[in-house]
Amino acid sequence: MTADNTTPIVTPDETAQRAAAEFARLVAIMARLRAPDGCPWDQVQDFDSIAPYTLEEAHEVAEAIARRDWASLADELGDLLFQVVYHAQMASEENHFDVTAVTKAISDKMIRRHPHVFGSEAARTAEEQIAGWETVKAAERASRRESGTLAGVSAALPALTRAAKLTRRAARVGFDWPNAEGVLEKLAEETDELRAELPKADKARMADELGDMLFVLANLARKLDLDPEQCLTQANRKFERRFNAVEQNLAMQGLTAVEAGLDRMEQEWIEVKKAEKSAI
């Protein structure tokens, strides 16, 4: 890739050459799978049928990172890369674009968004890069005729992630609470509003109020510089780990969870939490 499409920005080394060869091999494998004499399953897939697998592979990459399972991460990244090649192959078959357009587009974008590295601009701090990045992205959105502060925030993002991103965009133009305390006050307000709807048991109203609470929680995570999806993922893992331990403890006593009942399970839950804290 080049700054002016003539001068190489990065000189390929042996590692890059090997990577290019393996990438070309993967592209060829994908084309072969979709060929008339290829794999019957791969032949009948389309963008809609493959998209869920793409999301699944992205989540598995995140899971491997969370576990610090580096051997699995290499494998999961390969699966995710295969999804990119899969979509590019289907797009090529329909004359939309090909894998070269995909790699060229991201290379061009990275060079355009890093003029302090690939151009003549002065070096930037991390904070200055964030500001510069947003300036370039705003220009890109304008070139696509996308207007408004919230333009371009993908509707396909997980809801909590999208909520945090929407509010982060709004905060950049001053629409934000001054601190996390303000968000907690808003959460208390939204909690009271949901509580007021409970006697009526109107599903639509309760869903609306619960949605407001979740949106505020995503805001709170942003104000605390936390990722709400990661927070919830960690909470899921913690619940899973502790509940499994409760069931195992009950099993050693010859009881199932149903036989033990809520009070006994709560006792075991407290003991599991104590054991975890003492082990830290």
The residue behind tokens 């109107």 is 202
- Give whole-number Cα distances, 48 to 52, 54, 83, 91, 201, in Å: 8, 10, 12, 12, 37
User: What's the pTM?
Assistant: 0.61
Residue 249's contacts (CB-CB under 8 Å, 6 or more residues apart) are 268, 271, 272
Q: What residue type is 264 in one-letter code?
A: R
> Greatest CA span in the chain, whole angstroms?
74
Residues 107/67, Cβ–Cβ less than 8 Å: no
**Residue 80, number of CB atoms within 10 A of its CB:** 17
Q: How far apart are CA 198 and CA 205, in angstroms?
A: 9
Which is nearest to 271 in space by CA: 232, 242, 251?
242
- The tens place of each residue's pLDDT in the chain, 280 residues long, gives 444 554 455 666 888 889 999 999 999 999 999 999 999 999 999 999 999 899 899 989 988 998 899 999 999 999 999 999 999 999 999 999 999 999 999 999 888 888 888 877 776 777 777 777 677 777 776 777 767 888 878 887 889 999 999 999 899 888 999 999 999 999 999 999 999 999 999 999 999 999 999 999 999 999 999 999 889 989 999 999 999 999 999 999 999 999 999 999 999 999 999 999 888 7
Cα separation of the two ends of the chain:
49
